[in-house]
Every structure is written in C-alpha cells, then in structure tokens.
Structure 1
Amino acid sequence: MGELFARLRAGYGAGPRHLLVLLLCFVVTGWVALRVAGEATAGRMLLWFVGAVVLHDLVLFPLYALLDRGLRAAVGVPARPSAAAPGRNEAERATARLALLNHVRVPALGAALLFLVYLPGVLGWGADTYRAATGQERTPFLGRWLVLSGALFLLSAVVWVIRWARWRSVRGNRDPAERG
C-alpha cells in the first residue's frame, strides 16, 4: 500500500487526501454549474464571475502586492528570507517583524473582504431598492463596517502584544551564554 501511495505522489505530485479533496471540489463545482445553468440569469452570473476574475488578476492583485511590498519595507522584513542577515539575533528579529506584518495583513484582509462583500451597502448604492425591498435604511452599513474593521485590528493588536510579551519572556529566560 505504501508503494502505491509513493507512486501516486510521484506521478500526481501530492498525496491521496489532496486528490480526494480536489475531486470533491470538482463534484461540488459541477453541481453548482448544473444548478446555475438552468437559471435565466446564468449569462449575467458568468459575466460577473469573469469580470471579478479579470478585476482581481489585473487590478487588485498588483495593487495589494504593491501594498504588501510597502508594508514589508516599512516593517523591515526582507523580500526574500535569504536576504536576512545570517546571525541568530537578526533572524529572531526578522521573525518577530514578519509576525508583526502578519498581524497587520490578517485584519486588513478581513476588512477588505467585508468591504467587497458589503460594497453596495457600505458605499450607499441602491439605497432606494434596499428600502423598497426591506423597509429598512442602509445607513448603518458604513458604521458597522468601520467598527468591525477596527475590532479586527484591535483584536490582532492584542494578540500581537500577548505573543510579543511571551516571546520576550522566553528570550529573557534563555541561558546567558546563548544570548547574543
């Protein structure tokens, strides 16, 4: 059985669980495609999907790659791990800076995804249609998005401070001969 898995990994490039999950994804995608194909608005959905892919690949990805490069430069994280100094202390500092960068990236991603999902509400588009359909106003969307985004950044900052304090205490408890 181990030889079969080794041959699968050599030929496929991944293990059997990966293949099973990928096949499951294809089944779900096929089911969704069959469900959507019968819809009268399938063409519009396809157009939105293609537009979203093009918008992401040609506009958004270069934009957030540029923003990430700027964040890396501001925090002092090298673009390539090999660019870091080989010393132990510098490697620890680079790891801490990368952790800080990730504590900015994650809430920023959450805020951006929430913004995209609730874009019409946050920007106030379609307020008349929303009011006619629900009888409610759209005014709280922007405030709620700002509060939720702020909460994401605050939670990330609290987690970072706790991790940084633990890192400092572990680093301080090392043998003095190991400290550099």
Structure 2
Amino acid sequence: MGWFRRFYGENPLHLLALLGCFALVGAAVLALYPNPSALTIAIWFAAAVIGHDLVLYPLYALADRSLVLTRWVRRRVSSRPVTVAATNHLRLPVLGSVLLGLIWFPTISGGGAGVLFFAAGLPPAIDYVTRWLLVTAVLFLASAVLYAVRLGRAAVRST
C-alpha cells in the first residue's frame, strides 16, 4: 500500500470516496438530463457554487477571523488568561440562525404565501419573521447560559 500512497498521495479509501461522489453526481446528471429544465438547474447550481465560494465564504471566514483576533487581543491585553473561549458559543447560534433563515427564507419573507393558500387553503396568519427571530434569540440565550455555566465551572476549578 505504500506505493499507492506515494503514487496517489492519499489513502485508498479517499479514492474510493471520491469515485463514489463522482458516481452520485453522474447519477444526478443522468436523472436530470432528459428534463427540459436541466439547463436552468445547472445554471442555478453553478450560480450557487460561485455565490458561496466567491461571496459567502470570504464573508463568514472574515467574521470568524475577527472572533479569533479578538480572542488573541484579549489574551495579549488582559492579565487574566482566557479559560473558556467564547468563539464556539457565538459560532453555533449564528450557524443555526443563518441555516434556518436560508432554509425557510421563502416562508419568512412571505414569498410562499400564495403556495400555502393554494396547497392548504389557509391564509398566512403566522408572522414567520417574529418566530425566526424568537428562535434566534433562544439559540443565543441558550448559548450564553451554557457559556456562563462553563465560566463558573472554570472559576471554581481555578480556585
């Protein structure tokens, strides 16, 4: 197996996983090929990949770097050591809120009101923006409570 790793550069399982991914993409392409809107789907997919890789990824990488930089600055300025990092206590609620916002964006923005009325015969009586903001607040509150508990445990442990 050493010759394979020197030739390929990775474990054989990596190649197997990569071939499986290519097979899955091939099956998806073959399933979409006879579809008349396949070109529209391909354009949407390419735009999503470009939008993520060229716009969104640099933005949230920059936001994450700013969190890490503030932790580094706090370590340099403060005489007390950082016992519990707040970075992940901010990352997780932001990720949950953004993910919920992206998944439910048509409903939150009110764009799906006609579909809801057509499918269920119900007018959109629920304010989804308020509920999304409430879920976001609960995520941040739960994360803050967990952070406070971890800080308390670290303070008790250090004394």
Name the TM-score, length of structure 2 as normaliser.
0.76
**1:31-62 CA-partner distances (Å, limit 9, x unpaired):** 22222223232112112111112222332223
Distance 1:148 1:65 in 2: 24
CA contact 1:124–1:139 (8 Å) conserved in 2 = no
For the pair 1:123 / 2:109, whether they are aligned, the reply is yes
Ranges in structure 2 where 5+ consecutive residues have no aligned partner = none
Give the structure 1 partner of residue 43 of structure 2.
Answer: 47
Give the structure 2 partner of residue 148 of structure 1.
Answer: 135
**1:80-113 CA-partner distances (Å, limit 9, x unpaired):** xxxx76xxx87x52x63xx311110121012111
Distance 1:35 1:138 in 2: 38
Cα distance change, pair 10–170 in 1 and its aligned pair in 2 (3 A): farther
Q: Tell me the C-alpha RMSD between the 2 structures.
A: 2.8
**1:144-180 CA-partner distances (Å, limit 9, x unpaired):** 32222223222322332333333333333xxxxxxxx
CA contact 1:121–1:138 (8 Å) conserved in 2 = no
In structure 1, give the amino acid aligned to 2:102: L
Identical amino acids, percent of aligned pairs: 38
Distance 2:60 2:121 in 1: 37
User: What's the offset of the Cα at 1:138?
Assistant: 6.7
Cα distance change, pair 16–44 in 1 and its aligned pair in 2 (3 A): same
Ranges in structure 1 where 5+ consecutive residues have no aligned partner = 173-180
Higher relative contact order (CA 8 A, sep 6+): 2
Give the structure 1 partner of residue 59 of structure 2.
Answer: 63
Give the structure 2 partner of residue 78 of structure 1.
Answer: 72
Cα distance change, pair 139–11 in 1 and its aligned pair in 2 (3 A): farther
Give the structure 2 partner of residue 20 of structure 1.
Answer: 16
Number of equivalences: 155
Give the structure 2 partner of residue 166 of structure 1.
Answer: 153
**1:115-155 CA-partner distances (Å, limit 9, x unpaired):** 11111111112422332233232734323322222232223
Cα distance change, pair 138–23 in 1 and its aligned pair in 2 (3 A): farther
